[in-house]
Amino acid sequence: MSDTIRISICDPNEKSRENLKKFLVGMDRIWLEADSSRYEFFMQIVEQTNPDCVIIDLDNDENKALQLIGLIKESRPSCGIIAVSTRTEGTLILKTMRSGAGEFLNAPVQVDELLGAVERVTKNSFGTQRAKSGSIIAITGASGGVGSTSIAVNLSCALAQNRSNNVVLVDLDLSLGDADIFLDTLPEYTILDVSQNIARLDLAMLRKSLTKHESGVYLLPRPMHLEDMGAISKEQFRKVLGLLKASFSHLVIDLSKSFNVLDMVAMEMAEHILIVTQLDLPCLRNIVRILTSLEQHDGLLDRVKVIVNRVGLDKSFISFAHAEETINREIYWKIANNYAVIAEARNNGVPLVMGAPKAPITQQICELADKLYASSGQSQSAEPEAEKKEKKGWLKFLSKSP
């Protein structure tokens, strides 16, 4: 059951509309989806954004407002409708409720009354059938160079092959993250831009701030400059994740290796914490250290899953049985070594589901996506045909003649 309610507003009066927006932005569990000053265009906004609840002011044009309420009730019966007016006569309230509104509030709206009305109309509309909010998968490596970013990028793309999924990849390695290179993109905005403007963002504006890859994955990259890596606060980042959860079915977060404050926020909010390792002593030692640290945080250990990457790279590596004994935990998933395929995909900026859809390593990552979400009853994996398209990102930029 989702703990996030998406709301759209229609109010031609700029002052009251802005006051209402300030109320909503400050409320936990509520995200402002969109707002409009025109009754005529609001139905189109509702059709495009499909909010959980709408708030419609009646005072500018009562007839248009009541007609709009009726249209929304007819076309979006699951959408909660709240009407607002400075007038209090019984005839207006009766007409409004007959048109399809679930609640009638007197303006100026009080915060507690608004929150109560939102809870009632969304509960009545959805009951227990409200969609689940986005699931967060936080991915880190037991050491540098174990392939955690590669798995994060390709797992995101595997999830996105299911058209019912909306997937966003967040690069939280704020100093040296390179998810944009893996996807050969040149993002216009970064996680720093989104974090610093979070109070002004709604879900529609958030999507415009992300870079969409042709695989279907949206990317929120690390800041452009090294000196900006400390400019994002814990509170800002938590709000960013909350907004992303309201908009996307899956969030894949490529953590840094430093286990800083933002990494911990991501893990606290994550449904799955994947630790990528290789079967060597330094990595296994680090896993033990990581697990010991996470044990101090309630509930985190239960979400940890150990992923062994590059299986078969070296026959002299530690056995799976010895590794499980060392870390006192079962290995959740194994991904075979296939350096040639991975290197080609990375150097070309093409994810495996597009560049090598039938390769065994691609199938293993798609099966990992299936296993993580087996309870949904849907297969996440797919085998799309790879298409050759003109490069327009980092790789084209780097290949230009000096």
* Per-residue pLDDT tens digits of the chain, which is 402 residues long: 345 788 999 999 999 998 888 777 656 577 888 899 999 999 999 998 889 999 999 999 999 999 999 999 999 999 999 999 999 999 999 999 999 999 999 998 887 788 889 888 987 655 544 445 678 999 999 999 999 999 999 999 999 998 888 899 999 999 999 999 999 999 999 999 999 988 777 666 788 899 999 999 999 999 999 999 899 999 899 889 988 887 788 999 999 989 999 999 999 999 999 999 999 999 999 999 999 999 999 899 999 999 999 998 876 678 999 999 999 999 999 999 998 999 999 999 999 999 999 999 999 999 999 999 764 444 454 444 444 444 456 555 445 444
Which CATH number do you get for residue 15?
Answer: 3.40.50.2300
Containing domain of residue 376, as a range?
135-399
Whether 154 and 63 share a structural domain = no
Q: Give the integer Cα–Cα distance in Å for 310 and 297.
A: 30
Which CATH number do you get for residue 236?
Answer: 3.40.50.300
Whether 50 and 153 share a structural domain = no
Whether 259 and 329 share a structural domain = yes
Q: Give the integer Cα–Cα distance in Å for 325 and 319.
A: 10
For the chain, how are helix, strand and coil distributed in percent, rounded to 5?
45, 15, 35
Other CB atoms closer than 10 Å to residue 328's CB: what's the count? 9
Using a 10 angstrom Cβ sphere, with 0-12 exposed, 13-18 middle and 19 or more buried, the burial of residue 287 is buried
Neighbouring residues of 381: CB distance < 8 A, sequence distance ≥ 6:
158, 161, 363, 366, 367, 369, 370
Nearest residue to 39 via CA among 71, 75, 7, 65: 65
Whether 190 and 228 share a structural domain = yes
Whether 282 and 178 share a structural domain = yes
Residue 201: per-residue pLDDT:
72
Whether 186 and 307 share a structural domain = yes
Could you say which of 58, 93, 126 is where a domain stops? 126
**The pairing of beta strand 5-10 with beta strand 135-141:** unpaired
Whether 194 and 264 share a structural domain = yes
Total domains, the chain? 2
Whether 213 and 319 share a structural domain = yes
Phi, psi dihedral angles at 231 (to 5 degrees): -90, -5
Partner residues linked to 277 by β-bridges: 308
Residue 310: per-residue pLDDT:
93
Residue 23: per-residue pLDDT:
75
Residue 365: per-residue pLDDT:
97
**The pairing of beta strand 211-212 with beta strand 218-220:** antiparallel
Whether 114 and 175 share a structural domain = no
Could you say which of 97, 126, 155 is where a domain stops? 126
Could you say which of 66, 100, 126 is where a domain stops? 126
Whether 150 and 121 share a structural domain = no
Whether 216 and 108 share a structural domain = no
**Is residue 154 within 8 Å of 362, Cβ to Cβ?**
yes
Whether 160 and 301 share a structural domain = yes
Residue 132: per-residue pLDDT:
52
